[in-house]
A and B are shown apart, each in its own frame.
Chain A
Amino acid sequence: MATKSAPASAPAAARPRVGVVKFASCDGCQLTLLDLEDELLSVVEHFEIVDFPEATSSRSAGPYDVLFVEGSVSEPAHLERIVELRRRTRHLVTIGACATAGGIQALRNWGDHDAFRAGVYAHPEWIHSLARSTPIAEHVTVDAELRGCPIDPGQLVELLTALITGRRPQLRDESVCMECKRRGVVCVMVSKGSPCLGQVTQTGCGAICPRFGRGCYGCFGPREQANAAGLTRHLQMAGDRPREEVGRLFAGFTAYSEPFRSMVTELGGARTGRGATTAEPATTTGGKA
């Protein structure tokens, strides 16, 4: 019988090499890592931070054991860069609504890209952007994602400890409502008639918005099997709300994630007021350089 014996003390393993990189984003999710003030020293003890422009000037071309990717693919150069980074990464973790859903900037996917550029910039020909802002997972395989705008520090710590322990991170795939009920938050939809996306939105934020008396606006994006169509029917019928008002609820930070995307397309919630929207989001990623 082949038996294995435990050594008296395990040798200290090399620390996993961690990188933090960004695409089109505001850097807020990266800052969540720096905001882990109590845990920061332990994090550095367990992980070797090789690339993190918000925190250190040292740079690395990889390889990475863990790479945190913030931001959406929004420029032509991003298309090659994300593929190259994936090639050098063992565990690729997308962080935040931009990386996981395309972000608020994905609202342009329903608009006229050229008209936007011409309307905002004096020299639109200098702007190198793609017609669509898209989530990282549309381009490469993603191993784990942390949702939200910004991400939740508790979920980040859970992911880090799970990486150290070697277990699957316990990120629940339930509705925000569950967290409201556990915390004793009175349902804003039932008690005030405020529209709330909590039912169709992935949990993880600790129900911040309902705790402050307003409806969830879905920044963690749709949860598994989100019945957005059912919620839409209820809001239109029982709430007596016009189509576009309901559509606008879904047209937020995670608008480009299905099934929110279909609701925005169907109900027309991405209107900018400039008459620049189209019914369908643009379908090509090809940008005009």
Chain B
Amino acid sequence: MVIRTAPLRGHRPALEGPGFLARADLQILIDLLREEGRRVIGPTVSDGAIVFDEVTSLDDLPRGIGDEQAPGRYRLRRRGDERLFGFVVGPTAWKKWTFPALVALTRASKDGHKLSFVPEPPDTSPVAFLGARACDLAALGVQDTVFTGTAFVDPDYAARRARVFIVAVQCTNAASTCFCTSMGTGPEVESGHDVLLTELDGGFLIEADTAAGRILLEKLPLRPASATEQYGAAATVAAVRARIGDPVPAAGLHDRLLAQLDNPRWAQVAERCITCGNCTLACPTCFCTTLTQTTDLTGVDAVMYRSWDSCFSPGFAKVAGGSFRSRPRDRYRQWLTHKFATWWDQFGSSGCVGCGRCITWCPVGIDVRDELNAIAPAVPLVPEVTLVEPVAATPNDFVTARVVASRQESVDTTTLTLTGTDPAFAKGSTGQFAMVALPGFPPLPISISRFLPDGIELTIRGAGPATKAMCAMLVGEELGLRGPLGNNWPLDRAVGRDLVIVTGGIGLAPLRPVLHAIVADRRRFGDVKLFYGARTPADLLFRDELERWGARDGIDVSLTVDRAGPGWTGRVGIVTHLFDQATWDGTNMTAFVCGPERMMQATATTLAGRGVPASRIHVTLERHMECGIGLCGHCQMGKYFVCRDGPVFSIGQLGDIFGREGI
């Protein structure tokens, strides 16, 4: 075995190599950090566990206390020595200070028809983390990527994270639940810290890794560490690595796991899993959240809060009509495949750092290592990815727009014409959506049904309280908008080809801008066919436009209804019946489809039978969305965030997760 030694970077000018800090002098380090105005957060004993909380003196630290951990079990024990860091990891993750469990994001208030959305400033008072382990630092790195490493930066996280100074501690013990070695995150601390301690019998080996860390070291009473001390520190950490071993061989785990979506073990583990969500909230990288609105009894002021949520809660993936992951086995599969596989596709790393918190703090002791080893045999699989760059704003930021016209399209559907929208909306593209907010109601994703030079139209079906309230808006009232979000219908790739558009009911709304674009430059496309179904003739939306597209604009419009009414002489039946007997050759065809998932699946199957390639059959997906930019986690579908990577996907892109129950 190769013994990896602790890195010896960060020399302070006065010292060659690491210094030695007597145990009692750690108090000076705490005092210096506090003199800088930092709250020092460190380990302390509370309620039978070592938790992180504010510490001011060495007496607050767990002197001589160790921990014993096993699946579903945690106990403190006396070590019989004076060590301050002789334990492993406890129930608290540092994310509590960078990504708090509950934060106020935005305050909305109403003055007559005038709305204002004011972002809440985050707490930016400086803090120092005392005692972060290698897995903890890796976890902060993972959340850094999630919240600040992609196109959209979460301002609350960025502000809280920037104020953190980190004093890391090398692990000199391992718990039975540790598997950082398999995840490549530890036990050796290598980066992400300002100062690094390795605890020895009489004190600490101490090194700095940043300029701020070096400045701190210069103020401490240090002597150079002896060669014996340095060797002892390295050997202790090496022994920890040897003790943990390699519990979850990670090579190829991504592909192996995604090849096992149908493994019967998912159902077996779901019989033991209580879906309580403890694993996800104990996890230092899990980032899913949910928004809640509070209004005062007067209804004038509303506050939007963001709190930790879990993919294990039944309501997490709910939309009107039910949950996309209705069974506990779906939710366990979502968690495990996200953490160990699709996280790589989304963020370029594993979502797991191997800290073992989800194992220890699972009340019924489910061990992810056992589940992974049982579920994931070696089968390779290469998925396809195509992305379009969206334009948007952050989750606590809203712009307002004014209703200038409201047109009732059917008994439950209304089109609002908005002006005064941010210029970003003029650059929006077909198929994109906006997050639409009224104070006190959760913001909802609504497809943009028309782009105007100075505004947009939203076509809304009043399905729940928020959408009903939007439908009831009067001319002159304002609403809050974020967007345009998501990707677009790939109309450019349809140029020069035949185009078939299949949709039903409200599904015509996100496709309406496509038809406007085609009509504006009709010659660029071959034959264009529109197949549109509704429940009754009165439920057909945009009736005057449908007539114009067919009569004047060179589009082959076919309509059908589920139930005919007086005067209806057209087809009756489901929309796929309009073309399932057709004999066209689909090899030069592009298809855009919007409707319930089962209808889209049936349509895709029929079109594929006519020779339309899977890469050119595009669907738009509905999911529970709150942030619209891939930060809240609600709309996950396999490796995709539907809001950020979609909502438009090709069937080829989705592969076998399209139409699969419980994804």
Interface set of A (CB-CB < 8 Å, partner B): 1-6, 9, 39, 42-43, 45-46, 157-158, 160-161, 164-168, 170, 172-175, 177-178, 181-187, 189-193, 196, 198-200, 213, 223-227, 229-231, 233-234, 238
Contact = CB atoms under 8 A, between A and B. Distances in A.
Given A166-B465, A196-B363, A182 B278 contact: no
A42 B299 CA distance: 11
Nearest to A223: B314
A6 B113 CA distance: 9
Contacts, number: 172
B75 interface: yes
Contacts of A230: 271-274, 364
A194 B307 CA distance: 27
B318 to A, nearest CB: 9
A234 B365 contact: yes
Contacts of A191: 47-49, 74-75, 91
Contacts of A166: 465, 468-469
A225 B328 contact: yes
A213 B313 contact: no
Given A177-B278, A183-B101, A231 B364 contact: yes
Interface in B282-317: 282, 292-299, 307-310, 313-315
Contact of B74 (A4, A172, A174, A190): A190
A132 B441 CA distance: 41
Contact of A39 (B272, B297, B363): B297
Contact of A227 (B72, B112, B274, B294): B274
B277 A181 contact: yes
Interface in B352-410: 360-365, 405-408
A177 B276 contact: yes
B275 interface: yes
Contacts of A192: 48
B594 interface: no
Contact of A6 (B92, B315, B474): B474
B147 to A, nearest CB: 18
B440 A165 contact: yes
B363 A5 contact: no
8 contacts: A5-B474, A5-B475, A167-B293, A186-B46, A189-B363, A190-B360, A191-B48, A227-B275
Nearest to A203: B313
A181 B363 contact: no
B475 A238 contact: no
A181 B296 contact: no
Given A42-B297, A172-B315, A186 B51 contact: yes
Interface in B107-162: 112-113
Nearest to B48: A191
A167 B308 contact: no
B467 to A, nearest CB: 11
Nearest to B440: A165
Given A6-B475, A187-B363, A182 B281 contact: yes
User: B47, B361, B407 — which one has the most chain A CB atoms within 10 A of its CB?
Assistant: B47
B477 interface: yes
Contacts of B550: none
A177 B277 contact: yes
Contacts of A160: 297
Contact of B328 (A184, A223, A227): A227
B47 A186 contact: yes
Contacts of B517: none
Nearest to B91: A186
Nearest to A178: B277
B420 interface: no
B271 A3 contact: no
Nearest to A7: B474
Contact of B282 (A39, A174, A181): A181
Contacts of B426: none
Contact of A175 (B276, B297, B360): B276
